[in-house]
Amino acid sequence: MSHDHTQPDPRATRSGRGNGAGTSAGTGSSGSKAKRSWWRAPRRTWIKRVVWTVVGFLALGASAVAVAFATIQVPDVANGLAEAQTSIVYYDDGKTEMARIAELDREPLPLASIPKHLQHAVIAAEDRDFYTNAGISPTGIARSVWQAVSGSDVQGGGSTITQQYVKNYFLTQDRTLDRKLREWVISIKIDRDMTKDQILEGYLNTIYFGRGAYGIKTAARAYFGKDVSALTVQESAVLASVMNAPSLFDPALGAKQQTNLTKRVDYVLDGMVTMGWLSAADRAPLTGLPTIAAKAPSRALSGPTGYIVAAVRRELTSKLQLSDDDIDRGGLRITTTISAPAQQAAQDAVAKDFPTTGDVKDVYAGLVAVRPGDGAIVAMYGGADYQARQFSSATDAVIQGGSIFKAFGLIGALQQGISTKTQFDGNSPLRDPALGNTPVRNVGGRSYGTVDLRKATASSVNTAFVRLNIKMGPSVTKTAAIAAGIPESTPGLGDDPTNVLGTASPHVLDVANAYATIAAQGRRATPYLIKTVTSNAIDVTYQAVPNVVDAFSRDVAADVIDAMQQVTAAGGTGSRASAVGRPVAGKTGTSEEAKSVWFSGFTPQLSASVAMFKDVNGVPQPLTDIGGLDGLTGGSYPLSIWIDFMKGALAGQDKVDFPKRVGIGDDKVHTAAPTPTAPATSVPTSTPDPTNSPKPEPTPSPTNSSPTSIPPRPTNTGGPTNANKPTTPPGQG
């Protein structure tokens, strides 16, 4: 009997009451049992807790759904969504429109005008339960989740046709839970209020197919160049496949997309067989892909600004990782760094000063202007019309630099403590063991005697600069060029003694940015084109932050600028630059056989580079018989374009002075020993400066350029006009 009374009361163990357990909590064994954690409760208690939790969540969910159905209304069908989906590129003020990417191209059709096999192909591709579901598909959602979790190659998506129609027509492309909830509710309401045929018709007229085509009618033209009524079954399967994700399935975008499309078309055709809409016998011969039209250039890419819009697309892809679909229909508002007045000045300058007489076929000009110390691209001229030539003279063409590289030799010399007053032998030709069997000559074989680096820069004396380069080592010039902003990958950028004469072939953008580093007193910035990006359709916000580093000292920059000011002063190869009417510095450049000519220069506020070159099927050719000249120099047409551009771009801005010369190494100045020179021979020169004797250029007839646009080629009957007429200086350009 007493044994029975010694058994503990189970209730006391759970509740902490009975047998004095409550008074011994925290000290006795029964107290420990009273503190047992909630997760160690018996199974029956656990089951109750789980059931009540689930019931609670279901109740909350039901309440949320009820509230959602009561509060979420179907938007007005005329809510201007098309406008929201069109991406717009603006100038730097964020207000002046430059272009619209993928201009909205939509022509609605009644469902009766859309072939049945096309309707069936779309349903087989996107929503095989379309005619039986209630606007949303739980199985489709589960399939989409399984695909994301398992990584399996499930072809069907998670959204029904009704959901896609709602998303495209009534909502934004945002990827948020709130937007998804609204999509579900509106889809159910739309399915309740509209017939399936009405939904399908609306869907086929609003879905985006890529290539700027919204709706099935414009898509048929974009991909096959025919009316929708003439589409074959296989062509219909292509359109039904592309609509899923144009950036993944448009074969014009690459081999990967072509492979993706082939698999997707097979999936669609097989689905049509499964659904009973296509017989196996009719399906069998439909292999591979039908002939698909090439992708036509967007209307947004026409004219000179087309090159800017194309560059904007590349920057959106590389920096923001946006897809073509995001860019084409993401409702982006893109503010660029391009100044509308400066861009117009660039287009007007080329229209006015580009040569139009002589052998000007296949002659091109490129211009880029960069803000020093910031990297913002203020103006860019890549050609007259992007649709006619999808190759930018500003950012795509690699153009031998010529004497513009002498500026980098100056930077390297000053970093070595060599003063710009150091003197070198400027006689021609120069023979040196470092040059092998090929001597270096000045233009026309002219000898200058002993010259300091300031005079050698002003007159572009090849032999003096090569002697400098041999003295300090060619790698010094190469390193200085890279530090200033010339990419290390630039074709021809080597360590040979003539690299200071510009044997490398940079982009115009690279040179404009490298000279901007000098103008910014040694501060190098990474060039950029996009200032801000926002969207009311997808989740994207971007604000550019300039990337600026110290490339070389302010003292070095001050002495380089001083030497380059000698170029634009009286007697320099670019003396006409003084017509800008403010402090300027720069350098002319003429490549080997005058296949390219440059003028690159700057003020403290703006750096700009202009290049002209002749390219025949990708092969550089000499610029001969142009404007009545045997050969061009950088002091001719490029300088004229640069002058007129800078006048327009800087109009209304303050005149700012350059820093004064510091005089690095002046205390060590001595006359360098002349290099022994052999008598002139007939050995051909490889110097990147022209070898023809300078000839005065004729004064072309004056003309007025169009203030609004650039024709494929300027229509004026002469070249540079009035005070900007080119004159070949006594040095080489």
Q: Could you report the average pLDDT of every consecutive run of 10 residues in the chain (733 residues)? A: 39 38 39 49 65 61 53 49 70 96 75 97 95 77 55 58 77 53 74 88 89 90 96 98 93 95 98 98 97 84 93 95 85 96 98 93 97 99 94 97 98 98 98 95 94 98 98 98 98 97 98 99 98 89 97 99 98 97 98 95 99 94 85 93 98 98 92 45 33 31 29 32 35 47
Would you say residue 26 lies in a domain?
A: no
Q: Is 502 left (phi over 0), alpha (psi -120 to 50) or beta?
A: left
Is residue 57 domain-shared with residue 139, that is, in the same domain? no
Q: Is 473 left (phi over 0), alpha (psi -120 to 50) or beta?
A: left
Q: What is the CA radius of gyration of the chain?
A: 36
Is residue 42 domain-shared with residue 165, that is, in the same domain? no
| Domain CATH code at residue 169 | 1.10.3810.10
Contacts of 155 (CB under 8 A, 6+ apart): 264, 267
Q: Residue type for 33, please?
A: K
Q: Which range of residues forms the domain containing residue 67?
A: 38-71
| Token digits of residue 259 | 């492979």
Is residue 246 domain-shared with residue 376, that is, in the same domain? no
Is residue 580 domain-shared with residue 476, that is, in the same domain? yes
Catalytic residue among 126, 183, 201, 593: 126
Contact 564, 518 (CB under 8 A): yes
Using DSSP's 3-state secondary structure scheme, residue 178 falls into helix
**pLDDT recorded at residue 31:** 42
Q: Distance (Å, rounded) from C-alpha 80 to C-alpha 205? A: 15
Is residue 169 domain-shared with residue 228, that is, in the same domain? yes
**pLDDT recorded at residue 721:** 37
Tally Cβ neighbours within 10 Å of residue 424. 25
Using DSSP's 3-state secondary structure scheme, residue 633 falls into coil
Catalytic residue among 137, 403, 428, 591: 403
Would you say residue 90 lies in a domain?
A: no
Is 241 annotated as catalytic? no
Would you say residue 501 lies in a domain?
A: yes
**pLDDT recorded at residue 190:** 82
Is residue 349 domain-shared with residue 274, that is, in the same domain? no
In 484-529, the DSSP E strands lie at 523-525
DSSP 486: -
Tally Cβ neighbours within 10 Å of residue 300. 24
**pLDDT recorded at residue 692:** 32
Backbone angles phi, psi at 377, to 5 degrees: -80, 115
Would you say residue 728 lies in a domain?
A: no
Is residue 411 domain-shared with residue 531, that is, in the same domain? yes
| Token digits of residue 49 | 């807790």
Is residue 690 domain-shared with residue 640, that is, in the same domain? yes
Number of structural domains (the chain) is 3
* Residue entry with tokens 């109009």: 651
DSSP 79: S
Would you say residue 365 lies in a domain?
A: yes
* Residue entry with tokens 């047409």: 637
Q: Which residues pair with 88 in a beta bridge?
A: 100, 333
Would you say residue 85 lies in a domain?
A: no
**pLDDT recorded at residue 268:** 98
Is residue 63 domain-shared with residue 198, that is, in the same domain? no
Is 126 annotated as catalytic? yes
| Domain CATH code at residue 633 | 3.40.710.10
In 341-438, the DSSP E strands lie at 363-370, 377-381, 423-425
**pLDDT recorded at residue 179:** 56
Domain end point (choices 283, 298, 320): 283
Domain end point (choices 283, 300, 320): 283
Would you say residue 416 lies in a domain?
A: yes
Is residue 279 domain-shared with residue 362, that is, in the same domain? no
Q: Between vectors from CA 656 to CA 650 and to CA 659, what angle results, nearest 5°?
A: 135
Is residue 145 domain-shared with residue 62, that is, in the same domain? no
Q: Residue type for 666, please?
A: D
Using DSSP's 3-state secondary structure scheme, residue 20 falls into coil
Is residue 718 domain-shared with residue 593, that is, in the same domain? yes
Q: Between vectors from CA 335 to CA 329 and to CA 340, what angle results, nearest 5°?
A: 120
**pLDDT recorded at residue 415:** 98
pTM: 0.71
**pLDDT recorded at residue 42:** 65
CA 210 to chain centre: 19
DSSP 367: E
* Helical (H) or strand (E) element with 613: strand 607-616
Would you say residue 96 lies in a domain?
A: no
Q: Distance (Å, rounded) from C-alpha 85 to C-alpha 98? A: 17
| Token digits of residue 478 | 């190469």
